[in-house]
Amino acid sequence: KAGVTQTPRYLIKTRGQQVTLSCSPISGHRSVSWYQQTPGQGLQFLFEYFSETQRNKGNFPGRFSGRQFSNSRSEMNVSTLELGDSALYLCASSLQLPQETQYFGPGTRLLVL
Amino acid sequence: QKEVEQNSGPLSVPEGAIASLNCTYSDRGSQSFFWYRQYSGKSPELIMFIYSNGDKEDGRFTAQLNKASQYVSLLIRDSQPSDSATYLCAVNEPGGSYIPTFGRGTSLIVHP
């Protein structure tokens, strides 16, 4: 069974631009969670989607948004990029509940210049 | 501001010893707790979760939860060099939602 895939793996953007990251969960998994990891703040929870609905949300500004499609694939969007948005963005998928188990993708490394 | 505190380490233990990783949290209402392992340059992986006071064992790993003292720990028995990684503690929001707050992680080094 294929694991969680994320595209692109690396991305360079400039301040003020927007970016869209994609995550394909493990087949059959309906929950997708997104995280941001930086050296300064560590790992932080962004949001979680289940059956095309945002079920949980962390403490991030509205510039960070996401969505989930009927095939469970998910995208996250960051608008008006800031230098501080440079980070590794990870997604993880779960069958139903991320509390029980989840599998992480390899991440998308975003650099904002 | 919810806080999850971990000693950054590194914690160095000899092969075969017990590694003890600790985590304290500020939100007394928290009910679910997670331990993740992250190898250098890799993504995290969930290794254990615990909801109830006491111990939960899974192979060489034991999670211990003490809600009264607001700490959760992870014991790794018979530590192996392959256990060398950063261990992240995460504490979930009170209630049924999944909104975890992560600690900064403890670096564990198991030397032969």
Three-state SS string across A34-57, please?
EEEEECCCEEEEEEEEECCEEEEE
Residue of A nearest to B89 (CA): A43
Indicate whether B96 pLDDT > 80: no
Average pLDDT over residues B39-52: 94
* Closest Cα in chain B, distance from residue A16 (Å): 28
Average pLDDT over residues A31-51: 95
Please give the pLDDT value at position A1.
67
Average pLDDT over residues A44-71: 96
Please give the pLDDT value at position A62.
96
Using a CB–CB cut-off of 8 Å, the residues of B that contact A are 32, 34, 36, 43-46, 49, 88, 90, 92, 97-105
- In B33-58, which positions are buried (b, 16+ CB within 10 angstroms) versus exposed (e)? bbbbbbeeeebbebbbbbeeeeeeee
Three-class DSSP category at A3: coil
Identify the residue whose tokens are 């060489």: B60
B34 contact residues in A (CB cutoff 8 A): 99
What whole-number distance in Å separates Cα of residue B74 and Cα of residue B51? 14
Average pLDDT over residues B27-35: 91
* Closest Cα in chain B, distance from residue A74 (Å): 18
